[in-house]
Amino acid sequence: MGSKRALHFVLKVGDRPLAATFYRELLGMKVLRHEEFEEGCKATCNGPYDGKWSKTMIGYGSEDSHFVVELTYNYGVGEYRLGNDFLGITLRSSQAVANARKLKWPLSEVSSGLFEAIAPGGYKFYLEDQDQPKTDPVQKVTLAVSDLQKSIAYWSGLLGMKMYNKDETKKKALLGYADNQCKLELQDIGGPVDHGTAFGRIAFACPKHELPNIEAQLKKEKQKILTPLVSLDTPGKATVQVLILADPDGHEICFVGDEAFEELSQTDPNADNLIDNAMVADKSEEWFAKHKRQKPSA
């Protein structure tokens, strides 16, 4: 169990400049890497799209010690339909709360010291108004499930996550791979989980040699495998092995080989410039405006 670690959650964005403002200026995250691609990913990292897209990794520190957000932007898509699958990311930062007020970004107080901020695209972030820890401020990712016991059997029984807390009254459970990592919270919503077109993906790393065993175990249990074990090439960088799964409610789960991923995920000191330059060079909004057309919704 200790060999696995939580890496990131993938969110699709239709308005990249506004998203950059939210994550950088409100949450206070740093751009860690930015990459542009001319065609879709073999592991559908950008969703079921074949065109030009970009990937921006943003967080409070590198993925070897922090849980970060991967923002995927498809040039031809202006917005996505939210489902009820992603219930939010909780982080601890009084600075983020102060930043939201400074930016006049709407905040809703959920409970004493806990505020809800809606990121571009409609994604919920819960901000704990406490000093930002020196370790990772990101506390948990909350996903909706239709049957809590079935989901616990999958995430804990098959994927080896440790149970940290279970609340029968609120129908939720907190799981994770290590005490010092971002946790996964499962919330039973008592009905079907709808992923919309904005569906995300949670990623974990493990030693490369464990990937075939995970795949074999899931096949044996007749669980869904979205992308069988595949090698993904990044020009000029490491080739990483990837396995994409789906839990009983269809939440996408990515496992990557840790050894190559550590090399691939090195923070790029030029990342801020890369995304800023890409946003300046992106003429897609102008093109649709010139042709008096609305940018398509997924």
In-domain check, residue 38 = yes
Contact 232, 122 (CB under 8 A): no
In-domain check, residue 297 = no
What average pLDDT score do residues 158-168 get?
96
The answer to whether the predicted template modeling score (pTM) of the entire model surpasses 0.85 is yes
Q: What does the alpha-carbon distance between residue 40 and residue 50 come to, in Å, rounded to a whole number? A: 4
Q: Domain range holding 228?
A: 5-290
Q: What share of the chain is helix, strand, coil (3-state, %, to 5)?
A: 25, 35, 40
Per the structure block, which two tokens stand in for 8?
């990131």
Comparing 83-87, 156-160, 246-250, 294-298, the range with the smallest average pLDDT is 294-298
In-domain check, residue 296 = no
Nearest Cα residue to 34 out of 280, 298, 297, 295:
280
Count the alpha carbons within 13 Å of 284 in the hemisphere toward its beta carbon: 19
What average pLDDT score do residues 148-156 get?
98
In-domain check, residue 161 = yes
In-domain check, residue 281 = yes
In-domain check, residue 125 = yes
**For 99-130, what is each residue's pLDDT tens digit?**
999 999 999 999 999 999 999 999 999 999 99
**For 24-41, what is each residue's pLDDT tens digit?**
999 999 999 999 988 877
Tally of domains within the chain: 1
The burial of 102, by beta-carbon neighbours within 10 Å (0-12 exposed, 13-18 middle, 19 or more buried), is given as: exposed
Q: Could you tell me the CATH number of the domain that includes residue 241?
A: 3.10.180.10
Q: What is the DSSP letter of 161?
A: P
Supply the mean pLDDT for the chain: 92
In-domain check, residue 180 = yes
Nearest Cα residue to 78 out of 218, 285, 246, 279:
285
In-domain check, residue 150 = yes
